[in-house]
Amino acid sequence: MSTSDHVIEREIVIDAPVEVVWRTITEPDQITQWFADKVDLKVEPGAHGYLGFGEQGGPIVVVTVDRPKRFSFRWNHPAGEEPAAENSLLVEFTLVDEGGHTRLRVVERDLDLLTRSDIDKRQYADEHNHGWGDFLDRLARLLTEPA
């Protein structure tokens, strides 16, 4: 975990093949089992979608799709604006095959580039480091515990 310069980073090794982890982090019906409870997502660069967390949530824009290695999107941008480095955060998932296991790394970046005054960057980084840890643990349990 790192919060230096407000970069949020988490990494976990999951006892599941890369393709299984890929599907679980990119398919809406799978995402609702470990992350957001409302998901509208098309996995292609430039696609607009939505991730909802109870009463919170918001639009996302898919940035990178490199199946099954890398998936990224931008979120937390002001309403009515297209996301860019200076007004949103980039969330990037990187998957590495480790002989039937998958090393999954999540990085949420660009917090330092935001010019918005309504966000406490240190608090955001701390909360999201904790949150991503919880979500990745939930993902690992979903993929490794018997059904």
Q: What is the pLDDT of residues 66-101, one digit of tens each?
A: 999 999 999 988 888 888 888 999 999 999 999 999
Domain count, the chain: 1
18/102 Cα distance (integer angstroms) = 5
State the CATH number of the domain containing residue 21: 3.30.530.20
- Mean pLDDT confidence for 104-127: 86
Q: What is the pTM of this model?
A: 0.91
Q: How long a stretch of residues is the chain?
A: 147
- Domain enclosing residue 102, as ranges: 4-144
Per-residue CA distances from 19 to 33, 67, 113, 121 (Å): 17, 9, 33, 34
Mean pLDDT, the chain, as a whole number? Answer: 91
Share of the chain above pLDDT 70, in %: 94
End-to-end distance of the chain based on CA atoms, in angstroms? 30
